[in-house]
Structure 1
Amino acid sequence: MKVYTKTGDKGTTALIGGTRVAKNNVRLEAYGGVDELNSHLGMIRSYPIDEESVKQLIEIQNVLFVVGANLATDTAVSNMQKKLPCTDEDVAFLERAIDKMDEELPPLQYFVLPGGRPEVSACHIARTVCRRVERRIIDMSEEIEVEDIIVRYVNRLSDYLFVLGRKLAKDCGLEEVKWVPRN
């Protein structure tokens, strides 16, 4: 099987189910953003981070493939969403991971400036991409039905990425730089 099909040369692509849509369709903005986010998570895994975080990120990347497939499915002609559901357990997985990391971190009493080390910065970049993806999914939901669980999952994922950034900073011995507003 060749990587190139030439079927998209005129600016359209096929959804799961075969329906063709323009490549700038709101649906593609949503699931294309999920793909971009997944790549950022792969980048975070490339840094020397703890094994538990690597395992969590791999689990999340697998769920993001499910989310992308759900967003890419034309439900009028395919039941892929039923075969690959995003579930409450997927959200609970993120919440448990957040809670566990939070237990080891000092209470957050201020805004934190992103940065300090590449792996910490990568978490913050992924967090902002995740927030954009959430907005694109909400845009999509105004035109096409999107399951609420997908919005909840992506929302919780941005929280996870923020806390992961804080955890990785702590693991590296970095002191968080708090935002101090100008007076």
Structure 2
Amino acid sequence: MTSTKDKIISAAKELISRYGYNRTSMTDVAKEAGLSRQTVYAVFANKEDLYAETAYFTFKEHLNKVREDLTHCTCLREQLQVYFDVMVIDPFRFLQQHPEAITLWNGAAMRNHPAVIKLKQEHKLFLAELFVPYAKYIGASGQSPANMADLIILTCNELKCGKAHSIDELNALLDTLAASILALASPGEAA
């Protein structure tokens, strides 16, 4: 059985995807979830809390997809492509359609929200674990899997949140990032 919180998040995700954050109200979410507005406010104090939790839920879905797709990969290059497709390119397309989400996501209230902090921690841990098999090569340059994770997360966040102006530019920059990562982490694949 789906919890009330799950119903609300699912409704918010659908409406935000369709109309954007600014045009989605808590009343709209309540109606879409088949719940009263009071019930929605009993679970989420405000729209920002709902957005942060929805972002976390969406991130977990994306991360689970990456994990599943990684089982089919035979090398780091393929793993990076899966990661970029799901965690950077798909969100980039969403943010191109809903630019108000960039402003909200980069706001101080969102950066310090517990759900967003948890999301960032899980994201870093996932990427760091991905690079553990390459720790020998990464360590030879004085870096660590955690450092690589931080660099990739920061770089990809900048790219998907407006530094890349088109999908072609984003892909070209991700190709450069992948080549740099491969040169450091898996020199045999970089060639």
Q: Which is richer in helix? A: 2
Q: Comparing both chains, which one has the higher relative contact order based on Cα–Cα distances under 8 Å and sequence gaps of 6 or more?
A: 1
Fold-level similarity (TM above 0.5): no
TM-score of the superposition, structure 2-length normalised?
0.31
